[in-house]
Amino acid sequence: MSTKRLLLLAVFLFSGICAFAQTGDIRGFVYDKDNGEPILFATVFLKDTNYGATTDVNGFFNIAKVPAGTYTLSCSYVGYDEASAEVQLRAGGLINQSLFLLPGSTQLQEIKVTAKKEENRSDVKVSSIKITSKDIKSIPGTGGQADLAQYLQVLPGVIFTGDQGGQLYIRGGSPIQNKILLDGMTIYNPFHSIGFFSVFETEIIRNAEVLTGGFSAEYGGRVSAVVDITSRDGNKKRFGGLVGVNPFQANVLLEGPLVKLNEESGTSSSFILTSKYSYLEQTSKTLYSYIDSTGLPFGFTDVYGKVSMTGKTGSKLNAFGFNFRDNVDISETSALDWNSFGGGLNFKLIPGYAKTIIGGHIAYSSYDINLLETGEAPRESSISSFEVGFDVTTYGEDSELNAGIELEGPSTKFSFTNSLGINVEENAFNTNFAAFVKYKKNFGKLILEPSIRTQYYASISNFSIEPRIGLKINATDNLRFKFASGIFSQNLISAVNERDVVNLFVGFLSSPGSLNKPSSAERADYRYQRSIHAIGGVEIDLMDNLSLNVEPYYKYFPQLINVNRNKTSPSDPNYATESGDAYGIDFLLRYDTKKLFLWAVYSLGYVNRDDGEQVYPTHFDRRHNVNLVGNYKFGSTGEWEASLRWNLGSGFPFTLTQGFYEDFNFGDGINSDYISENGDLGIIYADDRNSGRLPYYHRMDASLKRTFDFSKYLKLELYAGVTNLYDRKNIFYFDRIRYDRVNQLPLLPSMGMTMRF
């Protein structure tokens, strides 16, 4: 290379370095001035420039590569007064500046470009819906109590199988294939047996992100979906809380500062403690005696506590713990109990001199379940696990790099006896290692997000490499196209028997040994479950407050592993495999203003499995599913709030009855008197599994709430609600032996109150 060319190259590199050195970064947090809680998805910008950003779930923002100079940093968010601060950015500098927004009377109704739209344009967001406690409260709550379990049911691609013992199925994945996280920790059974309530207190949810497929590499260990819940901190300014009562349950929340928030330094510490207790077993005997004079047999108790500490630059440490309990006692028939407890730490370290955030968590949880049924052997299952994870996020110009490692050690126990008296018992201790890298780059109209996860299942000596990709094209300001695909794996198996009428027993197994593989299947060299996702989509902003999201999807499951319930001898494998797929399309139409919220969802889905003998639809294969939600605030100050929800779902598959026979078990061997003794009534099922369809399901819920403001902090909420407003007789199950149809819950009126202080 000539001297002239070397000189030109040196000048070019020096100019680039100088240009880079003339810029800096501005970052920080946006907080609610009243309680110190981070404000999510707020718009932060430098006035009279094109530089800006949106806060994340921690209230954090980062504006990169800003030319040196003096600026006015501002933040706006619906329902708050605008806050500003003057900042002086030096070349190559980094400024940490937090903003505190004061709730105001100006609701910013004239803002045309909302933070949500900005987030849609800057994030890939394929098959992702973010939920706040405000969203959850927008739909009618059973018993007057808003709950995440009820809100999840209205999301695109989510199928719910019933009022009693119902489970959530997300785009063709069974409950075991969905990962539920609370502050980074896995929750193994997040839903109570009655089906209306989760273990999570609505009032502590800061954000819940539901990823129905195609999620990136920071999530692993599941083959279908993820629900990632972040709890909020306690009030950093003052002591307060709430007490609520209704016919189903009572709940209490206490929160306050341990060290009050210092707005100059940003330091603080706080606590939050919640508890809820169900007494439906007692109240239903009087209030809902028309359902069952002995009372509805459901009860639960949930306790959660958290301590948060925040440092000068926004660095944070949280310590939390929980205990969730559930019981069902059906007189003279069955009794089920489960208990879940655990705790842990998570942290965010934000150095004042670097453009990097370091995060991590360590946690332990335990879950035990027991089921006793008349005439059946007991079922028992337990899982306990420790989890450790660390990650690093680095911000660049229009880019973001996130990398991390994880270690998990689940230990499972399971005991079950099938109809032939063959015992299936498994005890396993596992060690799972994972590492991931995710890179996000904004190329203007194109946002690209490739990632890769490597997963090693030490207990079965299997290694999984899982590349994933997500992208979005901003075709215009109001039209966006998106796509995601990836490979996913898991080494956790459900002990649920999908042929049971009600799946109340949610047990867990792992580290499968020998597999009973279909004779037609190719021999696989792995013993974990796998899936491959491909998801497309289009987002359209039809009006300022009206948006449409359409997502077709396909999920292929090359290997799924189940308990071998056809085991006929102790030497038979404990596990059987099958394959399958799920595909469909989801439509979401959303309209959101200060007073009116409308939500319309239609989902078309197909879910099939192949066990080597036949291809059949799963018992949760609901072809059509519709959810309509409306919420309207009225009155001079919006003190009244009315909500309505209607759900329509086509019938679930079931296996038809072909005939009956006398089932004599010869319990006394050759001494059994089969001539004079009577056997049980056995059922002959049709050869084609799940070839029948139950009737359509539909239900309307409604609620009305009135808020009384006695002072700035003292408020009383009174509400009335009706579940199954027009008393639809939805089928629960059909008792083949007694030839008797059993329906879901009928009309359930309720009233309640919540006092906030």
3-state secondary structure of 59: coil
3-state secondary structure of 117: helix
Domain boundary among 80, 100, 122: 122
Which CATH number does the domain housing residue 31 bear? 2.60.40.1120
Amino acid, single-letter form, for residue 517? K
- Return the sign of the alpha-carbon dihedral for residues 289, 293, 296, 301: positive
Q: What span, in angstroms and rounded, lies between the C-alpha atoms of 662 and 383?
A: 39
- 14 falls within a domain: no
Domain identity same for 137 and 110: no
Is 717 within 8 Å of 262 (Cβ atoms)?
no
- DSSP assignment letter at 712: S
- 10 falls within a domain: no
3-state secondary structure of 343: strand
Domain boundary among 122, 153, 175: 122
- 230 falls within a domain: yes
Q: Are strands 640-649 and 653-654 parallel, antiparallel or unpaired?
A: unpaired
pLDDT at position 520, please?
A: 47
pLDDT in tens, 488-500: 999 988 877 655 5
- Return the sign of the alpha-carbon dihedral for residues 353, 354, 357, 361: negative
Domain identity same for 245 and 101: no
Q: Which of 102, 96, 75 is nearest to 265 (CA)?
A: 96
Q: What span, in angstroms and rounded, lies between the C-alpha atoms of 276 and 302?
A: 5
Is 610 within 8 Å of 689 (Cβ atoms)?
no
Domain identity same for 396 and 294: yes
Residues of the chain with pLDDT under 50: 7-20, 106-113, 501, 520-521, 523
φ and ψ of 652, to 5 deg = -80, 155
Domain identity same for 114 and 216: no
pLDDT at position 668, please?
A: 58
pLDDT in tens, 408-437: 999 998 877 766 666 677 788 889 999 999
Q: How many residues does the chain have?
A: 757
Which CATH number does the domain housing residue 752 bear? 2.40.170.20
Question: Cα angle vertex 300, ends 297, 303, to 5°?
Answer: 175
Domain identity same for 224 and 175: yes
Domain identity same for 306 and 414: yes
Q: For the chain, give me the number of helices (H) and strands (E)?
A: 5, 48
Say which residues have a Cβ less than 8 Å from residue 391's Cβ, sequence separation at least 6: 218, 358, 359, 360, 402, 403, 404, 405
- 586 falls within a domain: yes
Domain identity same for 479 and 332: yes
Domain identity same for 94 and 141: no
The per-residue DSSP string of 25-64 comes to EEEEEEEETTT-PBPTT-EEEETTSS-EEE--TTSEEEEE
Residue 99 sits in which domain range?
21-122
Domain identity same for 133 and 102: no
Q: What span, in angstroms and rounded, lies between the C-alpha atoms of 619 and 652?
A: 6
Domain identity same for 544 and 571: yes
Q: What span, in angstroms and rounded, lies between the C-alpha atoms of 556 and 111?
A: 43
Domain identity same for 162 and 210: yes
- 733 falls within a domain: yes
Q: Which of 501, 421, 424 is nearest to 666 (CA)?
A: 421
Q: Which of 131, 303, 128 is nearest to 205 (CA)?
A: 131
Say which residues have a Cβ less than 8 Å from residue 497's Cβ, sequence separation at least 6: 503, 505, 563, 565
Q: Which residues of 218-232 are buried (b: 16+ CB within 10 A; e: fewer)?
A: bbbbbbbbbbbbbbb
Amino acid, single-letter form, for residue 342? G
Which pair of tokens denotes residue 231?
């709890």
- 439 falls within a domain: yes
Structural domains counted in the chain? 2
Domain boundary among 75, 96, 122: 122
- 29 falls within a domain: yes
For the chain, the helix, strand and coil percentages under 3-state DSSP, each to the nearest 5: 10, 55, 35
- 650 falls within a domain: yes
Domain identity same for 70 and 143: no
| C-alpha separations of 613 from 529, 610, 632 in Å | 20, 7, 52
